[in-house]
């Protein structure tokens, strides 16, 4: 397949915000992802009380699921609407505070303290701000990143990983000539060159 057909395609942050406003969020699933259920033991690897990162988190229900298992969850999402819908749909009280290191960014944290969602661009984060993670659930994240930003995204993710952390990545296999994305087509060869 001609993977170059999507190389120049860009979805702007404004377009993502509009998708949320219009309710054009077919990517959101009410049920936990079957692949997380299948591979959760690989993610956890017998460990408890992990710090788990959800890049480009939307209002993914798996955040609640992992938090309920006793892990601490950190997400990042550009849409404040998405973040607020997450907390309200799970009836979770939260508080909201500015992030001093990132102008305009806010952090929404469940009152219980185990779910923290940063409302900003992922490219504004660093391990100095959010620390490092024992596990990553990347569904609808790498495949939503604009192809021109993939290298930057992968470098950041590697930087946010603790030694011995596990990274579960979901991609979508299809003919990139037939759909302009997102989700974008990310072939396995590219995943190898991005993450080694």
Could you give the 3-state DSSP secondary structure of residue 15? helix
Among 36, 43, 50, 60, binds ligand SAH (CB under 6 A): 60
Which residues inside 137-196 make contact with ligand SAH, applying CB under 6 A?
139-141, 144
- Ligand-binding annotation for 23, yes or no, is yes
Strand partners for 170? 139
Among 36, 57, 73, 154, binds ligand SAH (CB under 6 A): 57
To the nearest whole angstrom, how small is the minimum distance from the Cβ of residue 84 to ligand SAH?
13
Which residues inside 1-20 make contact with ligand SAH, applying CB under 6 A?
13, 16
Closest to ligand SAH by CB, 69 or 172: 172
Q: Does 27 bind ligand SAH (CB under 6 A)?
A: yes
d(Cα 150, Cα 134) in Å, to the nearest integer? 22
Candidates 2-10, 92-100, 103-111, 136-144; binding stretch for ligand SAH (CB under 6 A): 136-144
Could you give the 3-state DSSP secondary structure of residue 165? strand
- Ligand-binding annotation for 52, yes or no, is no
DSSP one-letter code for 184: P
Strand partners for 51? 72
Closest to ligand SAH by CB, 27 or 65: 27
The vertex-49 CA angle with 117 and 130, nearest 5°, equals 35
Count of C-beta atoms within a 10 Å radius of residue 169: 16
Determine if the peptide bond prior to 66 is cis (ω within 30°): no
- Ligand-binding annotation for 137, yes or no, is no
Spatial CA neighbour of 26 closest among 189, 132, 194, 183: 183
Q: Radius of gyration of the chain from Cα atoms?
A: 16
Candidates 39-47, 63-71, 76-84, 188-196; binding stretch for ligand SAH (CB under 6 A): 76-84
- Longest CA–CA span in the chain (Å) reads 48
Residue ranges for the binding site for S-adenosyl-L-methionine?
16-27, 56, 77, 121-122, 139
Residue ranges for the binding site?
16-27, 56, 77, 121-122, 139
Binding site for ligand SAH (CB under 6 A): 13, 16, 27-28, 56-58, 60, 76-79, 82, 121-123, 139-141, 144
């Amino acid at each position: 397949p001609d993977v170059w057909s999507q190389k120049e395609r860009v979805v702007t942050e404004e377009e993502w915000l509009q998708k949320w406003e219009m309710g054009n969020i077919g990517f959101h699933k009410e049920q936990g992802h079957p692949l997380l259920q299948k591979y959760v033991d690989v993610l956890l690897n017998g460990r408890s009380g992990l710090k788990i990162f959800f890049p480009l988190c939307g209002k993914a229900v798996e955040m609640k699921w992992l938090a309920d298992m006793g892990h601490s969850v950190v997400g990042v999402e550009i849409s404040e609407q998405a973040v607020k819908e997450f907390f309200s749909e799970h009836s979770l009280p939260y508080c909201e505070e500015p992030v001093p290191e990132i102008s305009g960014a806010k952090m929404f944290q469940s009152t219980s303290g185990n779910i923290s969602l940063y409302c900003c661009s992922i490219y504004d984060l660093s391990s100095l701000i959010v620390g490092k993670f024992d596990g990553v659930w990347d569904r609808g994240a790498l495949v939503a990143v604009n192809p021109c930003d993939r290298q930057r995204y992968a470098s950041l993710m590697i930087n946010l990983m603790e030694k011995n952390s596990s990274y579960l990545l979901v991609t979508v296999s299809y003919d990139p000539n037939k759909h302009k994305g997102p989700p974008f087509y990310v072939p396995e060869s590219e995943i190898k060159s991005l993450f080694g």
